[in-house]
Each structure stands twice: as structure tokens, then as C-alpha cells.
Homo-oligomer: A and B are copies of this chain.
Amino acid sequence: MFKGQERGDVLIRVAVDTMGGDFGPPETVKGALQGLDTHNIELLLVGDQDLLESELAHYDIKNKPVKVVASVGKIGDDEHPIEGLRRKPKSSILVATKLLKSGDADLLVSMGSTGASMASSVFILGLMDGLERPCIGGPFLGVAPRTVLVDMGSNIDCRPPLMLSFAALGSVFSQKFLGIDNPRVGLLSVGSEAAKGNRQVHESYQLLQESHLNFIGNVEGMDFFTGRVDVIVCDGFVGNILMKFTEGLGTALSHYVEQRLADHLPAAELAKVSSDLWETTNMPRTMGGPLFGVNGMVILGHGSCRASGIAGAINTGVRCVQIGMVDSMRQELAQLSSTEVLKN
């Protein structure tokens, strides 16, 4: 392991939960193998052994760094994550997470149940010191690819110290992954003045202002697009609604544009424009959503991802491993704790 340093082109071992996602192994295996073509990685494909072997038979993987790691069963979106983990100790997500924990893998990628993947990561890898819950962050809009939103992980009823942690983690991601120096952090609210917002915002505002982060105050819904902020912090209730809303709106607008331009463009070009528009509103499907705050690099993807989305998530994760994201985040949280802000 080369924890905490730039890993350059060192081989990175990627555990993929192939049983997750709406399309299962045919799509996850295809996507994972695409990842092989662009990175110096070894694939640890975790899933039902027979299924995986019959899937791999469609590809020429002789001499390629691909291993199958057997697991039994999967935890579905319809199951309670924690109960699922208890009842299915050999499920693909648990086996894959344990590879990361034991040091046999450097990265975990899963398109399975977000709840189960988060719970598995917390139980097996553990939370970073000073953190109450993990979160999901990153850019989520193709039209605002350098604006990080955190939390997209559906953490509800977040207390202000947790909001501060989200801000710190998002800030590290902005700095290390997007190369933004001293990222500007904003708190999502209903007006830019300090007095605007609900109780959670008022209290979080105080903590953010006392912290070492580059806090610029409250920002509003339009500020994803104004370029005045690099990291937008919100409760996972709002983050999840925004993300799903954008997905739906992107789909609706791509249909709208398709109809609107039907008489103006040739069919092939029309389809391309419509799909580009859709993609630009659905960034987590193309790059995955990094899980922040657990002791290991985990990338979660949208269940409906196709192979290219899985390859994109691997791509994101490989870069996170190369730049030592987990260690940087741990250091940032340690700095936050040392400033005592969290103990207020």
C-alpha cells in the first residue's frame, strides 16, 4: 500500500460489486473490463461465481489482471440495509468491502443499494475519527462540473457539526480532485444574507464561520451556476431531492428538445443532442459518487448505470486513490477536531 502519497502509475486493485445495479453482471462486468483499457488496474470481480464465469466467457481476458472473488447473494434496494447485511454475511457488497479492509483491494466500486453500500462501508471500514456519518459528494451537473455538492447521500436531520464535516470533506475533494485552490464553501439557503434560512442553517453558519474553511456565507439555488462558490453544503434531504429532481428534469428536457427540434435536425443528430443534454444533467451516472468519511476509497454509482457509467466510476476512484484522497480527508477532519469547533 502507498497510503497518502501520489501513487502515479502503480497498479491499483479495484474490487467491483458486480451483483449491484439494475442490470447486474452483464453490465457491471462489461463496464469493469472497459476500465482495464484505460488504467493500470487489477480487477477483483465480486459476485456469484457461476454467473461471473459465464459472463467472462464472452470476453478474451487471457493474461489480463482479472480475478473472480465468490460471494453469495446480494442486498436489494428494497431491503433494509442493516438487516440485509446481517442476514447475508456473504453478500457481494460485504465480501467486496472486506477486500478493501484487508488491504487486498485499494478501491471499491458498487452500483448496488446505496444504503447497503454505505452501511457496509461504515461497519467494515469504519468512520474517520470525528465523524458521525459518511456522506456522498462531488460535482453533479455537467453544466457546473467544478461545483461540488455535499451531501448527496440522503443523510437527514443533520446536526450542525455534521454539516461542518460535510463542508470540510467537500473542500478536500474540491482541492485535491478538481485542483481548486482554497475552495469557496457556501451553505445552501433561501437567501445570501446570514439571517436567511432555517434553524439548521443558522447554527451551521456559526460553526462554518468559526472554522478554518474558506466560508463565503449562504448561497442560493442559482449559485450552482453563478461561479461564486466551489463547494455547496446541504442536508442530505435537500441534496437527494435536488439530485433526483435534476435527473427527472434532465430527462424531461431532453424529450422536450427532441420534440422541439424534430423538424430542424436529422434523426441521428437529434438523438445525439438529446442524449448530450441528458448526460449534462446526470453527472453522477457518468462518474459515480465518492463516499466521503470512511477509512477506504469507495465509489457508489447510480443503479441504472450502464457499462460506461461503471467505467466512469472506476475512473473517478482510481484518481482518488492516486491522489491519496482518503488520507487527505482524514487529516482535514483531524484539523477540524483540533480547532475545537466540533466540540461547541
Contacts and interface: CB of A to CB of B under 8 A. Distances in A.
Nearest to A234: B241
B273 A269 contact: no
A179 interface: no
Interface in A23-73: none
B256 A143 contact: yes
Interface stretch (A86-94, A120-128, A131-139, A216-224): A216-224
A246 interface: yes
Contacts of A104: none
Contacts of A269: 264
A157 B256 CA distance: 35
Which of A144, A220, A243, A276 has the most CB atoms of chain B within a 10 A radius of its CB? A220
Contacts of A154: 190-191
Interface in A201-243: 220-226, 234-238, 240-243
A242 B246 CA distance: 10
Contacts of A237: 189-190, 197-198, 238
Given A198-B237, A269-B264, A244 B222 contact: yes
B248 A245 contact: no
Interface string A257-268: 100110011000
Contacts of A157: 198-199
B246 A225 contact: no
A224 B247 CA distance: 11
A221 B198 contact: no
Given A156-B198, A264-B265, A277-B257, A240 B252 contact: no
Interface residues of A, number: 50
A280 interface: yes
B244 A220 contact: yes
Which of A240, A241, A243, A260 has the most CB atoms of chain B within a 10 A radius of its CB? A241
B264 A246 contact: no
A341 interface: no
Contacts of A323: none
A328 interface: no
Interface string A141-181: 10110000000001011000000000000000000000000
A202 to B, nearest CB: 10
A253 interface: yes
Please list the 4 inter-chain residue pairs (A to B) with the smallest Cβ-Cβ separation, ordered nearest first.
A221-B244, A222-B248, A221-B245, A225-B248
Given A221-B243, A224-B249, 18 more contacts: A143-B252, A156-B190, A157-B198, A190-B241, A197-B237, A198-B237, A220-B241, A221-B241, A221-B244, A222-B245, A226-B248, A238-B238, A238-B241, A249-B281, A253-B281, A256-B277, A260-B276, A264-B265
Interface of A: 141, 143-144, 154, 156-157, 188-191, 197-199, 220-226, 234-238, 240-249, 251-253, 256-257, 260-261, 264-265, 269, 273, 276-277, 280-281
28 contacts: A141-B249, A143-B252, A154-B190, A154-B191, A157-B198, A198-B237, A220-B240, A220-B241, A221-B240, A221-B243, A221-B246, A221-B248, A223-B248, A224-B249, A225-B249, A225-B252, A241-B242, A242-B242, A249-B281, A253-B280, A256-B280, A257-B277, A260-B276, A261-B265, A264-B264, A264-B265, A264-B269, A264-B273
